[in-house]
A and B are shown apart, each in its own frame.
Chain A
């Protein structure tokens, strides 16, 4: 597999995993191993003295780079504080910027996201913003200095796949930074489609962690991302309205 490069850092896996939704750290560990991921998100929350084990230990053992997110933030101000705390706690200036508009849809708020992105870039963060499938916003965030853009396929945890493949293609066509399809993946064919559309990577969590067999689905996602990437690089045949014989028509 050709390498994915984000902000000058290279990854041989194009599957970025989330850690939310796994029933236990053991199940998560097995799924992460099967996925082959090298970059995985975590959330920042109040320390619980009763918590046993840490997701950080799992990632460290597997030598997976940690990507803190700002999940749960509704304003640019909240996202800024969360990113600064993550940098302090985890020693990374990378952040998946996620500012949501409401709890029912969990859709990203474009205004707050853009505001936070500008301020985080100015503070030296490597910013990967989660956004709607909006080509104009993706372009503006790239111009603002974001290291990648992360358009959704469908709402978080919905498993609805890629609802607007055309917009994802438009984002890919215009982008000079990596495009990472984030949210909405339900099964392997969704991940393959994202890569066929030209996305540079896929980020998913729920589709694996809440599958009946997470490690098996993780292996499926890994294969799907690789297959989709290869198909993209191979260049697919054009779609035709009618048949085109692949065997000679003359006797």
Chain B
């Protein structure tokens, strides 16, 4: 699991108690929800996320009372719609750790449509579904997960509809993390919730939960202590699918592609014949086949079915904003209001001037500096402005040239660290197929690697580098470069050199350059007033 999905900074140590709210818990005595609440309250302190950055959102149903009992931010919304509110919260503030608490009726019946879309959209949310196969809050009607033939208040002669399998549905909806756990197994629950929290992207967990009043013993046939080793199979990454009280049964792929139960030692079956569980498999076939395994024909799997990495919606949205902003310039209301064409009326209507093709069009990629920057640069006598008008290429040739170091995105973090040490550079350019794809600075190492437990030999540079969308020509001005850096909140920026190849400059170099330039210019203006400062690109490289 990646640890980059969560803020690396550790807050003051929190304990389970910090997450217990003052609200009186009002579930029925013996309800499975208590165990889940306990489990979540013990998981939250371990996430390293301050509690003000945690939001629990729920829909309607017994399970949806959950947020009231947690001392975090909480939103008890309307029936089935919690994923939509959670989407809005995460989009508005991706820094928040957002959890959705839902039930079988809430998520799969009234909220069925949102369920599918919140899965495929892959926001970094954690969705916990309490499945008790009954409508509890309305006192005992059948739910979309009730078993075929189940007798309830609205199915006095038994249901006549097929139940939905939440895990199968989540996999089919392209969820990137799908797991299942049981309310009677606290250790397993905690482990699954932790893995879900750490997964970057949507995490879906089905919890087998008991409704003591309206559907008691809902999961007893698989989860009762005396039978569970034979009827549940615990999925562990990298391990063969083995179960049974004597650990002598396993799951094998049959010739026609289905999964079947075999007994080790019978008919020459050995451990190597069994399916080895790999939740990271790219194709979903294995996870889907697992989801189709159900007691009594097969053991019912619990654990992590699937955990794969895909682009994360809230991350992509932020990146798209940064990219577009870097191209179009920052917000400029004045020009937005004027739009593509406008008329300036003067002299009481006698003088009308029209402007067509305003500069705020989407396809206008040339202007990077926004109007304010340009305005500020008009004063040609200000030494700061003169320094800002210099081509950024000069900064590179004068300060960065000898020290441009490159690395491949597939190199390890340790390679990068050793380069930083050996070359005494602050920024390394990440190159792939001869093109810059990003930069990595000491800051990225400190922020993402230093305090984490990631394997520095194994983890690739690409996981912590700053991807570069902004490639400046070396003839662009220093002001352009500063503008792009401030928009994209990057520390350094790659340059396309007129002589061919690429270079990188960072903030420190730009500051040093401006400083020295200003000192020179001020000194020059004292000795030779009126002399025009040197302009234009194509300055000499310092040394090769």
- Are A and B interaction partners? no
Chain B residues at the A interface, C-beta cutoff of 8 Å = none
